[in-house]
Every structure is written in structure tokens, then in C-alpha cells.
């Protein structure tokens, strides 16, 4: 079972796994508070508490509420894709899409998200890290000490039915979480659904990488897509075949150094 939580600009998901609960993309304090409410009301509080907190990539709208959630569940493990360690340590800077993509890729997504005032207030109140702006890209005071051990070749702690798939493009550290048994894909910001049947994210750092990632995902048996932004894609036959892939509008994307 997956709980879909709306509490910020990005979708948050609470996964009920065989070995406990896992939270993915806790982007705001409100999302953290909603998770705490669900666990208290439906899972008996800490007795059925949270085991894992993770994210599909290191952007503020996907990690901004993790510090707050950690306050509710101090025993929960925070574990990111291994590349995130380089951002936290300062070894690498957060990648930023070129500004030509902000108007074409980001703005159309943001304006379609509901509860704009609430989302803005939540962003202001949440932890400031993972902000893809030149003067804030190195701000990584996240307020907790995560593990950065997730990778394709390793099992995901507490989620034996799931595996991580590296899907660079939106950012170099972007990943998806895939459950082959239930044919579910948590796609992060690789695949969004602001237009009805899903679309490849046009707000990305590398066109070649996101094209490769899409081709990597396409052969997988998938019936349900849980996107980073927009509505769930449920009940469609072969939903990956219906995802819009506007290659002509992606041309020319590069990662600035």
C-alpha cells in the first residue's frame, strides 16, 4: 500500500513495506506532519513507526520536510542515493538546469500545482537545502546526518520488494523506486503528470541523460506511476507508452559547470 500525501510543491509517498514504513520525498514540514498523523492513526504510532526516509533527488521540494519528520521519528534511518554525499560534503555543487529551461520547464509545472499560497508558506518554513540557484546551491545545512548508501546494486533497507533505478537527467542524482511485483514506479521528477497521461520532465540538466533514463524505464512492466508532481497515473494500459516525450522541446539542455 502507498499513501499519497500532498503537503508542498512535490508529491510525498508513504510506503507500507514488509519490514515497516518508508517515506519518499518529504518536501515540506506539512508533509512530515501528515505522515505523523497517518502513522499515529493507522499504524499505532511508534509501534508501527517509520523505518526509512529517502528521496528521489536532492532538491528542496523533495527534502525540505525531512528534518521535521526526523523529529517525530528519531529512530528512522535517512538514506539517500550515494551521489548526494558529494553535495553534502561540498565535493560537488548542486547541478542547475540552464535558465532557458526555467520558463519552458519549471514555470508550467509550478503554476498548475494547487494551493500555491500554502505551498509557498511551507517552503519558507521548511529546511533550506537543495536549492538549485547559483547563490544557494552550496547551502546544505540539512540538520541531520544521513546515510548515502543507496545504489542500484544494493537492496533498499526495509523495502525488500523495491529496487532503486538511477535515472539521471532532471538532476545527476535523480532516481526512481520500482516494485516489480506490484508494477509500481515512483518516478520522482523524471516523469511528471501535469498534462493527463504523464510527460517526461522538460526542466532538466541533461537531455541525453533523461532520454537514456526514459529508455531504461520503458521496457519495465509498469501499471501505476507515482510522479513527483501531478496526479497519479492509475488504470492505464501500458502507461509508459502514453508518457509524452517532447524531444524537440528538450534539445540544447546542458549542465552548467
- Three-state secondary structure call for residue 176: strand
pLDDT tens for each residue of 90-144: 999 998 888 777 666 566 666 677 777 676 677 766 777 888 888 888 888 898 9
pLDDT for 107 = 63
Distance CA 27, CA 132 (A): 14
Pairing relationship of beta strands 224-227 and 184-188 according to DSSP bridges:
parallel
Average pLDDT of the residues of the chain: 88
Is pLDDT of 157 > 80?
A: yes
pLDDT confidence band for 254 (50 / 70 / 90): very low
Residues 38-58, mean pLDDT to the nearest whole number: 88
Give this prediction's pTM: 0.90
DSSP string, 93-156: PPP---THHIIIIIHHHHHHSS-HHHHHHHHHHS------STTTTT----SS--EEEE-TTSPP
Distance CA 231, CA 249 (A): 22
Q: Is 217:165 a contact under the CB 8 Å cutoff? A: yes
pLDDT tens for each residue of 223-253: 999 999 999 999 878 899 999 876 544 443 3
pLDDT for 249 = 46
Q: Hey, what domains does the chain have and what are their CATH numbers?
A: 2-249 (3.60.15.10)
Amino acid at each position: 500500500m502507498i499513501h499519497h500525501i500532498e503537503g508542498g510543491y512535490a508529491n510525498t509517498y508513504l510506503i507500507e513495506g514488509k519490514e515497516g514504513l518508508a517515506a519518499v520525498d518529504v518536501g515540506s514540514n506539512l508533509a512530515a506532519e501528515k505522515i505523523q498523523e497517518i502513522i499515529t492513526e493507522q499504524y499505532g504510532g511508534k509501534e508501527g513507526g517509520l523505518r526509512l526516509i529517502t528521496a528521489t533527488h536532492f532538491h528542496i521540494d523533495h527534502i525540505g520536510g525531512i528534518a521535521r519528520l526526523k523529529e517525530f521519528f528519531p529512530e528512522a534511518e535517512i538514506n539517500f542515493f550515494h551521489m548526494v554525499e558529494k553535495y553534502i560534503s561540498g565535493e560537488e555543487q548542486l547541478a542547475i538546469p540552464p535558465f532557458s529551461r526555467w520558463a519552458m520547464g519549471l514555470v508550467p509545472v509550478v503554476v498548475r500545482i494547487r494551493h500555491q499560497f500554502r505551498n509557498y508558506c511551507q517552503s519558507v518554513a521548511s529546511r533550506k537545502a537543495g536549492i538549485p540557484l547559483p547563490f544557494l546551491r552550496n547551502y546544505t545545512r540539512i540538520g541531520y546526518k544521513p546515510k548515502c548508501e543507496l545504489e542500484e546494486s544494493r537492496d533498499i533497507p526495509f523495502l525488500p520488494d523495491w529496487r532503486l533505478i538511477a535515472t539521471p537527467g532532471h538532476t545527476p542524482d535523480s532516481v526512481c523506486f520500482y516494485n516489480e511485483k506490484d508494477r509500481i514506479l515512483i518516478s520522482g521528477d523524471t516523469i511528471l503528470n501535469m498534462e493527463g497521461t504523464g510527460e517526461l520532465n522538460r526542466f532538466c540538466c541533461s537531455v541525453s541523460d533523461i532520454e537514456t533514463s526514459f529508455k531504461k524505464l520503458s521496457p519495465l512492466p509498469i501499471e501505476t506511476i507515482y510522479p513527483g508532481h501531478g496526479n497519479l497515473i492509475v488504470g492505464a494500459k501500458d502507461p509508459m507508452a502514453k508518457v509524452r516525450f517532447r524531444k524537440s522541446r528538450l534539445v540544447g539542455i546542458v549542465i552548467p559547470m
